[in-house]
Structure 1
Amino acid sequence: MDVRSLENPDFSAFLDSQGPRRLPPCDVKETKYTITSYDGVNIDIYHFVRNDHDKSEEPQPALIHAHGGGLVACSISDVSRPTPARIAAESGVQCFSVEYRMAPEFPFPTPLEDCYAALKWVVDNADELNVSKTRIGLIGESGGACLVAGLSLLARDRKLSHLPKKQILIYPMLDNRSSQNALSRPDDPRSQYFSNFIQMNEICWNAYLGYTEWESLNPDIRPYACPARTGNFAGLPSTYIDVGSLDLFRDESVAFAAELTAANVDVEFHLYDGVPHVFDIIAPNIPITKNAKDNRLRAIRSI
């Protein structure tokens, strides 16, 4: 089965809302850079900055963005360009969105290594980009949030010269056991919504892991593939997480926030009542979505 052709109403809503009919804001300048990833292959980074961005000599904060799409879909060039453009337009913080290679053609670790290459490139070229090395944040939604959480672990463990100041995880996909856990709880009020999403989630995880069982992965790399299953949360950046109470990823988000807190990492966690995955895209004008967007903007501006 082609993982990009799954029939799921919420996934279709995501694609429709992000498509070419919704162009990036006109007050944002877009620049494409091409860099070399870990394996010598060139990848693109899209830089979005508001036209009235401060041009002073003072280095500015920046975001590294990993787009959603279950690690298998929604490339920046074809679908997801409006998301980082709106982030830059609404927050005033410049955003570097990574055109990482996607599963199943490029399973783990390629998507994550592409994001690491992008982060390192921004750090190494911070002076030319007018970026403050000490004010670089990471942001991702759904599958992109999986990459962001893995990237924070990778930057910490590889002792990157300047670590991310904050990670912002929007309804994050963090644990490959989510589908099995959901199926074991038939009384869960989310079960009706789960039916299609479970299938899609399983296919996406299998594609990302290269159709390899978790137990067969090298133990040294497992935490970077499924960040929720790392045994060491210490030293990670300040973290913002939000998720809906009807989201398949609710429980892993709650558990991830708890583990970070236990490791003395600063955490801001929001659980929004009665909304499912990609609720902000399905219902952009409801009060909960407006509240979530305000909270995200505040977190971004705190970088």
Structure 2
Amino acid sequence: MIDPEIASAVDFSRPPLTLEGIPARRAANRIVTDAELTRGGAVTFTEEDADGVPVLVLRPTGSEGPSVLHVHGGGMVAGTRRSDLHVLAEWVSELGVTLVSPEYRLAPEHPHPAPVRDCYRTLEWMDRNGFGSPVVAGTSAGGGLAAAVALMARDLGGPAIRGQLLMCPMLDDRCETPSSHQFLDGTTWVRSSNLTGWTALLGEARGGPDVSPHAAPARATDLSGLPPTYVDVGSVDVFRDEAVGYASRIWQAGGDAELHVWPGGCHGFDQLAPDALVSRRARATRIAWLRRVLG
């Protein structure tokens, strides 16, 4: 059941995502303005090139804090480096972090491995350019890509990562968990939308035996050796069970994970209903974890 505050604030009438509907979904994305990014002068931003990947770099005005690599959401098919404003500017102004947001290439025009390669290239660029060891974070598809970047850094002996923060992450192309089958309609990201996103990324390989964990992190058979991890998800989210399962398997591998399942939260609830009590609790809890991990 969706939290009443969220239910009263969110329009659930938007149709599910289809491959044919991707251009319209992209066109409907809200454009984040410069004024919103700067938060009254508290945040300064630049647009830079990370070895061919356009990135947005936000810094607290007059200072330089520990870094976060943030990957935007959008079902693997939509969004820009300015998406997820609730994270981009709030974390910079609240925590004093320097935040880097890459404009990774989108499916289906650019299927796997293009999106995750762009994100990993951004991590390598940060490592060479004095950003220090970042927390890698992301929402929805961005959460899945952030988890994949952490796996790639471990598997390839890449740059050190301080932590990973995975918000309602899109982790499993097989779409066979109970929650994947539970939410067929009546919420913000339903099973058919999820199948569309994964098919755009993987094509006919989706759900088959040969999908890399660097595309779908839930495919990883070994979750040891990962940095401290924060995972959260709403209870009314198609990703609920894969998110819970990912945190559980990190624990089973001897790792450090913090898990929150927010009661009554639909997919993206804290963006869509930011003033709801559960949304405010979710954002505050993430910030507290970040503050602890960043020292």
TM-score, normalising length: structure 1 = 0.82
Give the Cα–Cα distance (whole angstroms) in 2 for the partners of residues 193 and 21 of structure 1.
34
Structure 2 residue 165 is the aligned partner of structure 1 residue 168: yes
**Offset of residue 295 of structure 1:** 0.8
CA deviations 1:65-84 (Å, max 9, x no partner) are 1001111101125x455642
Equivalence for 2:118: 114
**Offset of residue 212 of structure 1:** 2.7
Structure 2 residue 225 is the aligned partner of structure 1 residue 227: no
**Offset of residue 252 of structure 1:** 0.3
2:149 to 148, 151, 167: 151
Is the Cα–Cα contact under 8 Å of residues 184 and 191 in structure 2 kept in the other structure? no
Query: Identity percentage over the alignment?
Result: 31
Q: Alpha carbons of 1:202 and 1:91: their partners in 2 closer, same or farther (altered >3 Å)?
A: same
Q: Where do 1:164-203 residues align within 5 Å?
A: 164-178=161-175, 181-182=178-179, 184=181, 188=182, 190-193=183-186, 197-203=190-196
Amino acid at match of 1:53: S
Q: Alignment partner of 2:190: what SS?
A: helix
**Offset of residue 86 of structure 1:** 2.6
Answer with 20-29 or 237-246: which moved more. Answer: 20-29
Gapped regions of structure 2 (runs ≥ 5) = 1-19
Q: Alpha carbons of 1:101 and 1:191: their partners in 2 closer, same or farther (altered >3 Å)?
A: closer
Q: Alignment partner of 1:97: what SS?
A: strand
Give the Cα–Cα distance (whole angstroms) in 1 for the partners of residues 228 and 218 of structure 2.
16
Equivalence for 1:206: 199
CA deviations 1:71-120 (Å, max 9, x no partner) are 1101125x455642232122211101111111111111011000111001
Q: Alignment partner of 2:161: what SS?
A: coil
Equivalence for 2:36: 23
Equivalence for 1:123: 127
Is the Cα–Cα contact under 8 Å of residues 245 and 276 in structure 1 kept in the other structure? yes
Give the Cα–Cα distance (whole angstroms) in 2 for the partners of residues 4 and 180 of structure 1.
29
Is the Cα–Cα contact under 8 Å of residues 179 and 198 in structure 1 kept in the other structure? no
Give the Cα–Cα distance (whole angstroms) in 1 for the partners of residues 22 and 289 of structure 2.
33
Structure 2 residue 274 is the aligned partner of structure 1 residue 284: yes
Q: Alpha carbons of 1:21 and 1:262: their partners in 2 closer, same or farther (altered >3 Å)?
A: same
Give the Cα–Cα distance (whole angstroms) in 2 for the partners of residues 183 and 216 of structure 1.
19
Give the Cα–Cα distance (whole angstroms) in 2 for the partners of residues 202 and 101 of structure 1.
19
Is the Cα–Cα contact under 8 Å of residues 93 and 300 in structure 1 kept in the other structure? no
Equivalence for 1:70: 75
**Offset of residue 52 of structure 1:** 4.0
**Offset of residue 296 of structure 1:** 0.9
Give the Cα–Cα distance (whole angstroms) in 2 for the partners of residues 119 and 177 of structure 1.
27
Give the Cα–Cα distance (whole angstroms) in 1 for the partners of residues 120 and 34 of structure 2.
31
Size of the alignment, in residue pairs? 272
Amino acid at match of 2:132: S
Q: Alignment partner of 2:70: what SS?
A: strand
Q: Alpha carbons of 1:105 and 1:240: their partners in 2 closer, same or farther (altered >3 Å)?
A: same
Amino acid at match of 2:72: H
CA deviations 1:132-161 (Å, max 9, x no partner) are 33xx1101000000100000110001001x
Answer with 93-102 or 191-200: which moved more. Answer: 191-200
Amino acid at match of 1:5: A
Equivalence for 2:138: 140
Is the Cα–Cα contact under 8 Å of residues 6 and 200 in structure 1 kept in the other structure? no
Q: Which runs of 4+ in 1 moved over 6 A?
A: none
